[in-house]
Chains A and B, each alone.
Chain A
Amino acid sequence: MIKKEGSFKYLEIKNISKNFGETFVLKNIHLDVFKGEFLCLLGPSGCGKTTLLRIISGLERQTNGDIVQDGLLISNSPTEKRDFGIVFQSYALFPNLNAKQNIAYGLENKKINKKEIEKRTNNLLRLVGLEKYSDQFPSQLSGGQQQRVALARAMALSPGLLLLDEPLSALDAQVRSKLRNEIKLIQKKLNLTTIMVTHDQTEALSMADRVVVMERGHIAQIGTPFELYKNPITPFVADFIGKMNLLKGKYDKKNCVFYYLNNRFLISQNTEYSFLENCLLGIRPEDIEIIKFRKNIEKEENILRVKIKEITYLGTIFRLTVVLESKLEENIFVDVISNQVISNNLKIGDFIDIKLKKEKIKLFESNL
């Protein structure tokens, strides 16, 4: 975990657990969120990320553990006494109030005069770029516009913490990527500490300062998007952030060699690999080279002879699905630049040699 220069812990989540009867939804979660940080809770459905968000908001109560916000212990404070704004997946805009009334809903309850409310509402409308739509009802707004109203409403009381629960998942791809940038811009501009829940790794990687990958009620790994991609510490994180081939085999620690079927791969020396000999070898599709295009193959290490089973076009690259003759059911994915495939006229059924780059290979403890 990194600590940013000059940041202080704005929110501390201490040993939070949540269970419904016998089943655990969250197990001993520890997490610090720094002032002004954009943090993403990322994970597949059912990993507990939304529950954690709801516990932070007080809408759900933890079974155990404490939450400290801005130096105050808020573990048992009711929702309305906590300092946050929230945007739900469904937006939950009041359908019988127009955009402006929705945004002003929280302000009107405070003892502020009408002029001030008007001013602040207009500022918020401008902030999210909806000045022209202030009189429209939610049903008259597009999905993206509704999203922005919900965002403005959540920020109306100038909360210290913004919570976003899958805020973009109901939108189509184009609007989504546009809003991603906008939310990020507003967040940076206001230096607003933000926690977003999402199951979409692209969204998490492109928006977050740090990502918390969650799996079955616990935190699998915390880090910047690049750290997670570069150094995943579990096969789950490796395969959830990007794509990773995982091959099950045996590790000979003394000689730094990994045995997969009858093939041996040289592994960079790494003292962290302290686990038993049965383990997983992980390598990303883009870290596998096709050797066919090079000479002097005899000198090369970490070579596998494989057969092309499928070729999938993904834009600038092709993803080849290849298999070993001796293990046809295990797919290995190899990403190749489009030109290479075309100029070498690769076809399904061709045999090629691939090389797993030694320095890119990771080993993971096998829990299978």
Chain B
Amino acid sequence: MYFKKNFNKSFNILLLRTLIIFVFILVSFFIIIPLLPLFLKSFSDNKNNFIGLENFINYIQNPSLTQSFINSLKVAITTTFFSVLIGFIYAYALTRTRLPLKKFFNTFSLFSLYIPPLAVAIGLIYIFGKQGLITQGFFGTIPGFDINLYGFNGIIIGEIFYCFPQALIILVSALNLSDQRLYEAAESLKASPLRKFLTITLPNIKYGLMNSFFICFILSFTDFGVPKVVGGNFNVLATDIYKQVVGQQNFAMGATISIYLLVPSILAFLIDKNFQKNEASLISGKSIPFKPRKNLIVDSIMFIFCSLILILVIGVFSSIVLASLIKIWPYDISLSLQNFRFSNVAGNGYEPYFNTVFMSIYTAIFGTIFVFFTAYLVEKFKPLKKIRMLIYFFSTLPIAIPGLVLGLSYILFFNKPSFSVPFLDFKIFNPFSLLYGTMGILVLANIIHFFTVCFISATTTLKQIDKEFEEVSESLKVPFYKTFLRITIPLSLPTILEIGSYYFVNSMITVSAIIFLYPAKIPVSSVSIVNMDDAGDTASAAAMSTLIVLTSLFVRLIYEFTSRNVSKKSSVWINPLET
């Protein structure tokens, strides 16, 4: 009776479904599936015979190995406590007080994000090590002071350097979300400052606080760089894995320890995820941002506190640079560039450095495209809800996968030319094995290792873009990919640049994910820092660290410049009042 419009399956929806399934397959193969051979390995001996829980029992019965587990926990808990505490005070100073020179403190607080943890550790050696500036009292000019750097103390200081800016970023954004009116209402009800803090400030940032506890815990529990350089005889899980795999070629035990490293991380991840689930924004769009009042005492205390932190950060960085420029510390302290030749130890010259730069560029480009597109598919569309939810879950998981574990699982997965199907005498070609031994696998490992932060930031931005844009486009018969290119990407450009620069900087400084993966013909600089330090050539290690930091800073400057131009251009349509 009616003419039926027979367009039930439109091309666009079909394309969309295909893309979602394609991305699902990619994230499964890059994030989840590589973990399976790792689990299998932990239940096998080195000849691939299944031995059940034997590895785990061996591990528990080995007192020196169990000690590492306890050590890692100690490090993680101590670091988390101090990093969040320092991060909170610093963030509070930046957001809730009239701290003098706020802009300066804001910019430089994140400086240590650009210093690889390895380099921080090297910097610490030059300050607090046996021949360190402070240990030797500035070449004997004042009485020295030895903090016993090698061991627990060194690890903790290094990890705090590494973790505190991460806590700071989260807490600053949590504290920035405030409502002046709540404080005014409390004041009109005669609430004391302490009461205001406990009833308004703390409840508002509890999710941020919890999240920063989680991030700091995982980072310090799994970090490899700092304990490798200043750990001394204080063994932690991460260094144990390295020793088992690189030193003894014992992949089975490496896999077993990886599980011990992975389980607490995943546990912390699940606790945090469960906690964040209840998050509902307490601050509405109409809220009036908090305007701190002058308070001489608080402001001065904060100024002193923040200055101390900055002096330490800049001190460590300067000592790295200084160390790289000094001929033979502490015997011949004349300046020279000889440490930058990198000819004496690894003999690779500048090859590792350029490899790293290219690897970071590739990671930034491909990582940004992949992460943004994944977030876009998950966030903006309705079909295949369950699959999109799974993609979301997988995408948030990498933050809980320690770099070493990721690296180890990638070796085990990607070096297999084929999978054998259980119970059948049948093998499937593993197309991903083509990546093994190429730069591709390093790039991929980096993309996945830093995936979560980028994914969350892309998702947050996409959430802020009116979802009705897609609906309007549909009603105007414009296919979604055109709207993606013409509307979504231009509107997200600041975030896209931010993700790119994050990927670049982190790929420059990372060591844990790629130390097992890098092919012999493609040496990378962060690994050569480890090797140079191992060989006792700390000055060259410092020189390479300096190069890495300077490159990261340089890229960050380019980013700042570009994003300023972008926001100038887009300010016409974002906020005409500010132009």
A35–B126 alpha-carbon span in the complex (Å): 84
Known: A92-B469, A138-B573. Contact between A106 and B487, CB under 8 A?
A: no
> Most chain-A CB neighbours within 10 Å: which of B2, B4, B466?
B2
Is A68 touching B2 in the complex (CB atoms < 8 A)? Answer: yes
With a cutoff of 8 Å between Cβ atoms, the chain A residues found around residue B482 in the complex are 109
- The DSSP consensus for interface residues of chain B is helix
With a cutoff of 8 Å between Cβ atoms, the chain B residues found around residue A82 in the complex are 475
Is A57 touching B487 in the complex (CB atoms < 8 A)? Answer: no
With a cutoff of 8 Å between Cβ atoms, the chain B residues found around residue A138 in the complex are 573
Chain B: minimal CB distance from A193 (Å): 15
A116–B468 alpha-carbon span in the complex (Å): 27
Is B573 touching A137 in the complex (CB atoms < 8 A)? Answer: yes
B140 at the interface (CB under 8 A from A): no
With a cutoff of 8 Å between Cβ atoms, the chain A residues found around residue B476 in the complex are 85, 105-106, 109, 153, 156-157
Is A96 touching B4 in the complex (CB atoms < 8 A)? Answer: no
Task: List A67-87 residues whose CB lies under 8 Å from chain B.
Answer: 68, 71-74, 76-82, 84-86
Using CB atoms, name the residue of chain A closest to B477.
A80
B472 at the interface (CB under 8 A from A): yes
Chain B: minimal CB distance from A8 (Å): 14
Is B3 touching A105 in the complex (CB atoms < 8 A)? Answer: no
Known: A73-B4, A139-B574. Contact between A79 and B475, CB under 8 A?
A: yes
Is B574 touching A80 in the complex (CB atoms < 8 A)? Answer: no
B535 at the interface (CB under 8 A from A): no
Chain A: minimal CB distance from B8 (Å): 5
Task: List A44-70 residues whose CB lies under 8 Å from chain B.
Answer: 57-59, 68
With a cutoff of 8 Å between Cβ atoms, the chain A residues found around residue B471 in the complex are 57, 59, 79, 86, 88, 92
With a cutoff of 8 Å between Cβ atoms, the chain B residues found around residue A73 in the complex are 2-5
> Most chain-A CB neighbours within 10 Å: which of B5, B478, B572?
B5
Is A78 touching B12 in the complex (CB atoms < 8 A)? Answer: yes
Interface size on B, as a range, is 20 to 34
> Most chain-B CB neighbours within 10 Å: which of A58, A86, A90, A92?
A92
Contact of B472 among A71, A76, A92, A139 (CB under 8 A): A92
With a cutoff of 8 Å between Cβ atoms, the chain A residues found around residue B572 in the complex are 137, 139-140
Chain B: minimal CB distance from A149 (Å): 12
Known: A72-B5, A90-B468, A94-B487. Contact between A80 and B576, CB under 8 A?
A: no
Is B5 touching A81 in the complex (CB atoms < 8 A)? Answer: yes
Is A95 touching B573 in the complex (CB atoms < 8 A)? Answer: yes
With a cutoff of 8 Å between Cβ atoms, the chain B residues found around residue A77 in the complex are 5, 7-8
Chain A: minimal CB distance from B399 (Å): 32
Known: A73-B2, A81-B5. Contact between A139 and B573, CB under 8 A?
A: yes
With a cutoff of 8 Å between Cβ atoms, the chain B residues found around residue A94 in the complex are 469, 486-487
Contact of B5 among A74, A85, A92, A106 (CB under 8 A): A74
Is A157 touching B574 in the complex (CB atoms < 8 A)? Answer: no
Q: Mark B551-579, 1 if CB is under 8 A from A, else 0.
A: 00000000000000000001011111000
A138–B472 alpha-carbon span in the complex (Å): 15
Using CB atoms, name the residue of chain B closest to A94.
B487
A154 at the interface (CB under 8 A from B): yes
With a cutoff of 8 Å between Cβ atoms, the chain A residues found around residue B7 in the complex are 77-78, 81
Is A78 touching B4 in the complex (CB atoms < 8 A)? Answer: no
Is A86 touching B472 in the complex (CB atoms < 8 A)? Answer: yes
Is B570 touching A71 in the complex (CB atoms < 8 A)? Answer: no
Using CB atoms, name the residue of chain A closest to B570.
A96
A77–B469 alpha-carbon span in the complex (Å): 20
> Most chain-A CB neighbours within 10 Å: which of B466, B482, B490, B575?
B466
Chain B: minimal CB distance from A41 (Å): 18
With a cutoff of 8 Å between Cβ atoms, the chain B residues found around residue A74 in the complex are 5
A106–B573 alpha-carbon span in the complex (Å): 20
B: residues with CB less than 8 A from A are 2-5, 7-8, 10, 12-13, 466, 468-469, 471-479, 482, 486-487, 490-491, 570, 572-576
Q: A73-B5, A95-B574, A105-B473 are in contact. List 13 more A-B contacts (CB 8 A).
A: A73-B2, A77-B8, A80-B10, A82-B475, A85-B476, A86-B475, A88-B471, A97-B486, A105-B478, A109-B478, A109-B479, A138-B573, A139-B576
